[in-house]
Chain A
Amino acid sequence: DGGITQSPKYLFRKEGQNVTLSCEQNLNHDAMYWYRQDPGQGLRLIYYSQIVNDFQKGDIAEGYSVSREKKESFPLTVTSAQKNPTAFYLCASSISAGLAKNIQYFGAGTRLSVL
């Protein structure tokens, strides 16, 4: 069953805590992305990776960090520096670099809330 798996579905963060959102894909895609979606709004790009061991900041990278040690995995850490982390987080992948030319496939999302 191919696709993109995000976990957990719901996540709660305490004040000052770092949390990590998981994203795994078995589509053999080179490129992966993290987006943030606030209620009633479109998606904003946090980070993207075109290849293993490489990643680039998107529009709203402050307070977030990522790693890309394996092709299949692109975890996102929401750090304590992110003061307004409550949002819906979506992971996506596409076949190759030059992301804007390829269809992106999305996971089901992780909803992060602050306790």
Chain B
Amino acid sequence: KQEVTQIPAALSVPEGENLVLNCSFTDSAIYNLQWFRQDPGKGLTSLLLIQSSQREQTSGRLNASLDKSSGRSTLYIAASQPGDSATYLCALGAGNMLTFGGGTRLMVKP
């Protein structure tokens, strides 16, 4: 059974810092990997989707990478802003299911 782990569970950084969020998984037989953002008490917003044949995807200040051989994905956020404060979740797509990690709660301080 797929297990998805996100470390750290919480992260606090000063504004302007570049940062990396980590996602590790146990089964490399996946269709894709998605990164989502969740604001407190709200639903999820899809940030980036990486297909299993791809190595990375970029959107603005966000860059996500996928290394299936090591079972890892990273979400890189450049020049962080207070508006980036949220919980970030990764999810692995395989079979008919998405399996989610527990999320990293990010706080960017002004």
Contact = CB atoms under 8 A, between A and B. Distances in A.
Interface of A: 4, 6, 40-45, 48, 50, 56, 58-59, 88, 90, 92, 98-101, 103-109, 111
A109 B41 contact: yes
Contact of A99 (B36, B43, B98, B100): B98
B95 interface: yes
Given A42-B103, A99-B93, A100-B32, A105 B98 contact: no
A43 B42 contact: no
Interface string B9-48: 1000000000000000000001110101000011111100
A52 to B, nearest CB: 17
Interface residues of B, number: 27
Contacts, number: 69
Q: Which of B46, B95, B96, B100 has the most CB of A within 10 A?
A: B96
Contacts of A105: 46
B49 interface: yes
Nearest to B101: A42
Given A40-B9, A42-B4, A42-B89, A101 B31 contact: yes
B24 to A, nearest CB: 13
Nearest to B48: A103
Contact of B43 (A44, A50, A58, A106): A106
8 tightest A-B contacts by CB? A100-B93, A42-B100, A106-B43, A106-B44, A43-B100, A100-B31, A108-B43, A42-B102
A90 B6 CA distance: 20
B86 interface: no
Contact of A100 (B41, B44, B98, B100): B98
Nearest to A101: B31
B101 to A, nearest CB: 5
A6 B41 CA distance: 13
